[in-house]
Every structure is written in C-alpha cells, then in structure tokens.
A and B are shown apart, each in its own frame.
Chain A
C-alpha cells in the first residue's frame, strides 16, 4: 500500500529531472550538422591583401582552425585576447573569416587589438558564412588534415573550452 503513494512522488521527481536538464542546457547551442562533414569549399580574397585568394583546400594536410569574426561583433572582441594568446603558442594555423564586414573596419580592429590570424579571408556579403551555417559570430571550426570539420564552437571561445575541448582535440587530430 505504501509503495502506491510513492508513485506520484517518483513521477514528480522524473519530471523535475527532465526540467533540471532542460533548463541547464544552452538553447543557443544548436548542434551543427557540419561536424564530421567536409568543410564547404570556397574561394575568397584575403582581408589584408585583396589580390591574394584563399581556399580551404590550401590547408590540406594540416589541422587548422577557422574563426568567424566581425568588427561589429561585441563578443568577438571579448574573445580576441584569448585568440592572440592562442596564436602566440602556434599550436595550429588560425585562419580568420571576416563575416559581413567592411575591409577598413576589420583592418582597424586588427591594428587596434592585435592580429592573431595567420591570414583572414574576407566574406563581405556573408555567403561563405551561410555555407558554414554561421548564425551567431564568433564561431570557430576545427578542421582536420583531410579537410573534415571535427568541432564547432558557437560563441566566444572561453579558456575553459580551449583547455577542456579544443586543445585535447587538436592534439589528437595532429597525431592521426
């Protein structure tokens, strides 16, 4: 008889469990369907040197990181010092993708805050961004030697994400 009264209690606790998990998840964190798929191809001019082109195929055989940023994006500025520090360690090549921006504004930011990127690709109309499923800059992709996206970070990289997820993954990808 006693067990019968515990049934609603148990159901309630299950419900609380679901709510607790649901409420602690970040609704902005949408799993990207691009993870474990080849990085979409594109060819765009470089930010600093409009005469030179860049395409992800240029990076074949290397583990690299693509960071989507913009001069108008506030959280990109938050992330910037961390990227500068990351670039100093020269773990992997860091390529920037300047998303929906003007060259002058973007170059201004790099002059003012330092340039962590090996090079930046200019995507003024955001069309490369659409192919990469960008919906909230900054976004960062880790791409392996075969040109496959292995991880996507939406929103600014935190030092926690860098140490717990990004760096271990890069180590592993470099070995393979």
Chain B
C-alpha cells in the first residue's frame, strides 16, 4: 500500500515538473491570441473532430499562417470568417450561421420543446377528465373499514 501511495505521489510530482507551458512561438502575442480565438471556432477539415486551433495537420498549420496574415492586414473577424467559408463552406464553422437553410437546425429543438409541452398539457387535461373523484358510499366505507381491521390483526 505504502509503495502504491509513493508511486502515485511520484507520478503526480512528475506531472507537475514535466508539464510546462508551451512556449509561444509568435512574435506578436496579440495577433496570436486573436488567431487562436478565431481558429478555435473553426473545424479542421483534415481531422474533423479537432478545431483548427488544436490541429497539427499540415493544412491546419497553413491555414493558421494564413489567418495570422489576414489579422496583420487588419481584416475584421467577419471578413476572416468569410475568407474561410468561401473556401471550405459552412462546414468549417462550429456555430452554423443563421440563414434559411439552417432555420430548422436552430429552431428545431424549440419546436420539439413546444410540441412536447402541448402534448403534455393535452394528456394531463384528458387524464383529469377520465379519472373522476368518486366518494365512497356508506356501504363501501363500512366494507373498507372491515377489511382494514382484518388486516390489522
């Protein structure tokens, strides 16, 4: 047990020692920060489950270089987005733009929610109509009391 704890502690210590912040390579941290902000909202087309900011694919590196260039030229975020979308399509954006083709995508969950609430209300109304409160008659009360007494013994 002691050995196990010691080795876990050692591993933790190693983690703290070995993990070093990546050295920023860019000469201009402001440009780099904006580039990362923009590219983490974009999908890398080569390894589709990674963001453009995180991907080590060749194409992602080229595109990051391209984005740095655009930022240095003073392009706005919208212009940079347009640059990427005009080449690779809406697929590069993690947040799809709101436009006629994506209306269903954006409103779909709310439509389902409203439909569900309407369905629930309708069901509850119908149910309250079906289940009527019926008070027991005197004879039934007596019978119930007898049954309870019997089980009480």
Chains A and B come from one and the same complex: yes
Q: Which residues from chain A sit less than 8 Å from chain B, CB to CB?
A: 27-28, 30-34, 100, 126, 130-136
Q: Which residues from chain B sit less than 8 Å from chain A, CB to CB?
A: 45-46, 48, 58-59, 62-63, 66, 85-91
Q: Which of A33, A34, A126 contacts B62 (CB 8 A)?
A: A126
Contacts A135-B45, A135-B46, A136-B46 given; does A30 touch B62 at CB 8 Å: no
A130 touches B63 (CB 8 A): yes
Given contacts A133-B88, A135-B46, A136-B46, 10 further A-B contacts (CB under 8 A): A28-B48, A30-B88, A30-B91, A31-B89, A33-B87, A131-B87, A133-B87, A134-B59, A135-B45, A135-B59
A135 to B85, CA, bound (A): 13
Q: Which of A28, A100, A126, A130 contacts B87 (CB 8 A)?
A: A130
A30 to B48, CA, bound (A): 11
State the majority secondary structure of interface residues on B: helix
How many A-B contacts are there with CB distance less than 8 Å? 38
A31 to B87, CA, bound (A): 11
A33 touches B88 (CB 8 A): yes
- Give chain A residues whose Cβ lies under 8 Å from the Cβ of B89: 30-33, 133
A27 to B88, CA, bound (A): 14
- Give chain A residues whose Cβ lies under 8 Å from the Cβ of B58: 100
CB distance from B61 to the nearest CB of A (A): 10
Q: Could you pull out 22 A-B pairs where Cβ atoms are within 8 angstroms?
A: A30-B45, A30-B88, A30-B89, A33-B85, A33-B86, A33-B87, A33-B88, A34-B86, A34-B87, A100-B58, A126-B62, A130-B62, A130-B66, A130-B87, A131-B87, A132-B87, A133-B88, A134-B59, A135-B46, A135-B59, A135-B88, A136-B45
